[in-house]
Amino acid sequence: MINRRVCVTGAGGFVGGALVQRLAVTPGGDVLAVARSFGTEFPGNVQAATVRDIGPGTDWSSILPGCDTVIHCAARVHVMHDRSGPDAYAEYRRVNLEGTMALARQAAQSGVRRFVFLSSIKVNGEETVRGQPFSASQRPAPADPYGVSKMEAERALLALAAETGMEVVIIRPPLVYGPGVKANFLTMMRVLHKRIPLPLGSIDNKRSLVALDNLVDLIIKCIDHPAAANEIFLVSDGDDMSTTDLLRRLATALGVSAYLIPLPGAILQFVASLLGKGRVAKRLCGSLEIDIEKTRTLLDWEPVVSVDEALRKTALHWLREQ
């Protein structure tokens, strides 16, 4: 039950927008949506505020007063082919570390009780060994500027919590999918819907994903749950799949047959590397498993939607938009 004023940054984005919509229909509380711009309208009980840039000099003084909880979804997000060159790390750090900490310090000074930070599984690393999932207690091993900037923000936030008493909750999601999803997941839907053959019929890996509904539900759980304070949580649907299985289940959700050619993963990666697509192939063939036992046990939380239900919802939304 939400009975406090909750501020959500990144409210114009995929996760932040869905979170605000869910909070708006949760009884007993005010919601303040913060974004650079808004592409959709929120219910009348949601207040909106615009912040053009998030960085070390951002002034949050007109937004934070009266807020009990801040949920920080805004970030410079990871992209597959970042073209920022040698300045990529500096820009990720400016937004994801320095911008986050400017907000967090001002939040603590304003009397915010709890700061929920949407981090990334990339803090743990890029890939797991089959059967050895990432856990919240593992030593971080980020491999790119985005993951490093998120790790640095996590550490700085926990230090601030110890210094000020403001509670911090950190959530590390993997790839998030749901209605309105973009990027690689959208590409998969388009390719499957066109019935284009794919050489992905025998990929023997395991990957954890998280449905938007499940992630939003966990974030809301972390607003008030006493055991969440100053903890790090991993999240997934709890139903790990191979790339081949995901494509078949997504095709079923789209109402089509998946045309998957059984090319061994090792051959696929070799050919892809020759074509300059080695990173893409590694994502398709590699494993990334997540252990959510801590999240389940400490917060008494379970995913609220199944993978197949979430895929159907995602597919139907996309089909309606065509």
- Confidence bin at 267 (pLDDT 50/70/90): confident
Cα 303 to chain centroid distance, Å, stands at 15
Taking each helix axis from N to C terminus, what angle separates 307-321 and 183-193, rounded to the nearest 10 degrees? 70
Q: Is 155 exposed, middle or buried (0-12, 13-18, 19+ CB in 10 A)?
A: middle
**If we measure between CA atoms, which residue out of 60, 59, 95 comes closest to residue 77?**
95
**What was the pLDDT predicted at 89?**
86
The CATH superfamily of 6-179+208-239+289-305 is: NAD(P)-binding Rossmann-like Domain (3.40.50.720)
- Confidence bin at 115 (pLDDT 50/70/90): very high
- Helices (runs of H) and strands (runs of E) counted in the chain: 11, 9
Distance between CA 269 and CA 106 in Å, rounded? 47
pLDDT mean over 165-186: 97
What residues act catalytically? 146
- Confidence bin at 84 (pLDDT 50/70/90): low
Strand intervals (E) in 138-179:
167-172, 176-177
Q: Is the pLDDT of residue 140 over 80?
A: yes
Which residue ranges make up each domain of the chain? 6-179+208-239+289-305, 183-204+242-285
- Confidence bin at 104 (pLDDT 50/70/90): very high
Cβ atoms within 10 Å, residue 271:
14
* 81 or 322, which is more confident: 322
Q: What is the pLDDT of residues 37-48, one digit of tens each?
A: 887 788 778 999
Q: Is the pLDDT of residue 2 over 90?
A: no
Calculate the alpha carbon distances from 24 to 31, 289, 291, 309, 313 in Å: 7, 33, 31, 23, 20
pLDDT mean over 46-59: 93
